[in-house]
Structure 1
Amino acid sequence: MPNTSARLLALLSLLQARRDWPGALLAERLDVSPRTVRRDVDRLRELGYPIAAFKGPDGGYRLDAGADLPPLLFDDEQAVALAVALQLAAASGAGIEEAAERALATVRQVMPVRLRHRVDTLRFTVVGRPTVRPEPRADGGVLLTLGAAVRDREVLRFDYAAAAPPDAGRGSGDRPPRRAEPHHLVTWGGRWYLVAWDLDRGDWRTFRADRVTPRVPNGPRFTPRALPGGDVAAFVTARFRGAGVAGGTGDAAGADASGPGGWPCRGEVILGLPAAEVSRFTRDGVVEALGPDRCRLVLGSWSWAGLAAAVGAYDAEVEVVGPPELRAAFARLARRYADAAAPDGS
């Protein structure tokens, strides 16, 4: 039998997993007697958990709605690591995406407000799949600073060691800082990048986060510009597959961001499926969660008919966002499929 503390945590976890728990089933799951369950429930009540008992043939217990759990004890570095790990897991394609999203939501609810705020700051987009573990790695504090600047829409002032050893020129103060309007934080191939409008060069750039040293304070607030193509993942994919990042300097510019993977036909739809399920079967496309059972999919193909057919393979309700060519392709396929399904070709 586990010790009392471990058993109480197990009991609390079970009570959160479903609304009603018959006492006999709780005893079976915990491998204890019903009397021990009653004593443990009383202990949890003494600790402030509102556990109600219900009568009947299968009388048992439920954890009342709105129950407050004790704050989890994470320091700032652990909070950053947790947010990054769970968001990466949600885009891993390893079949644990939905569980990772639920875990992040659950842990976030029980974090102290200060750490919850820091976790919410660190939102990013995963573009491509990590292939190697890069060195040097981005600093967690820097990622938080970049994420906060993106969220608050504040001009970022920073030193940047482009195409140089990681510590070269950092914090030297012997040159003016770079100034940029941060748009989005992304990962590509295991590295972290900031997509931003470079105020000094008047163009969009991607900066490697491990080469960024932020200066304080940030600059003034700004009104976000429209990213070319309107989709950050498609923009980054196009830039990293173009000539602007040869050698991997991380300060990329110049490539066209017409669509995922450079496909000539690119469309956007809303699917009636969870993002975690769609992302498992999407390679060059971009998937964005819109709710527990809806997601946005941006996908490319060689033809509009091929794109419509690829979307149809997800076997879900589809809402076409655009462009009109994709909507027309769905209509053509619908007529063809209806003709094919008619008996005797009627």
Structure 2
Amino acid sequence: MNPIERALGILLLLTGGKLVPATVLADRFQVSLRTVYRDIDRLIALGVPIDAERGAEGGYRLAQGYLQPPVALTRNETAALLTAMALVRSSRTVPLADDLGSAEKKLLATLPKTVHGLLKDADRIVGIEPIPPDIFHSGTKAEPNDAWQNALDGFMTGILETRRVRFEHFNPSRNTRKGHDVEPLGVMFDRDLWYLAGRCVDTDTLKVYRADRVHDLEISGFRFRPPKEFSIQSLLGGTWLSEAMRRWEREEDIAKIRITAAQAKKLSADWYYRHAVFTPMADGDVLISIPSTNRARILPLVRWLGPGAELLEPAHLRQELAEELSSLTACYAPPHTFDRSA
């Protein structure tokens, strides 16, 4: 038996999941222990994940899940799979994008040749329209870049390896970057943006970070134990945004707008503004408090609301809006009539 045949035989014997002592392998193939050690080292060098345990009851075994049974998919199952792949590709940034590509190639290699063409022609069969930009809400559009992909990949790696991550987070309202030490717990996708959820070590609170605002992410050597009660599902449905707004109310300046009850009902259906604070007033109107004084966010909102909405605070935006509306009014003023009697 040549070394290649023997290495293959050892590989097959180690797939049972139980530890196989080196002495058993030496007896099975009628070779010395030194030869068995060399064969094991050769397999490890080729990338075969072999676990070794020392001691009287030790031995070798193949890492669980390394060899998988053939994948047998029907034509309909294959079509469902390529539809899911198309949905994933429609996102401009996905976690572990390189690993997704290599996994797809491996999966394709295991499938019957009769469905290869179907998967290769996925782009011709299934089309996903990308999510259009949300012009009404400023700051909800970001272009993919390497920093965004690195943040997403690193955070996901931290989740899989249960290791803390360190990064700097950019705050657009303050134009500042602040360092964070976080235990990563989950990721979620919302309106074409990825969000990273984890426990902030400094404040011992669960926080959500926009991935495109995370920079210089590094995986630390500190391991942690994820809380069993955590589920990313608990943050869906805008729950994370509602909690974030309550925190922003303590940290940011507040814009206050007086609106009618009908306008309040309309805003309460918006994915973003429905998480603001709505306070009924004595005359039937409603006061909405928004934790932002960014002109690019507040002024378009008041313009969109139209008559019945009054920006109360901050004073400088109120003045800016008054000047803008005066200029707009001048555009619609009746044209000057020429006095023929003069």
Task: Report the TM-score, using the length of structure 1 for normalisation.
Answer: 0.31
- Using structure 2 for the length normalisation, give the TM-score: 0.32
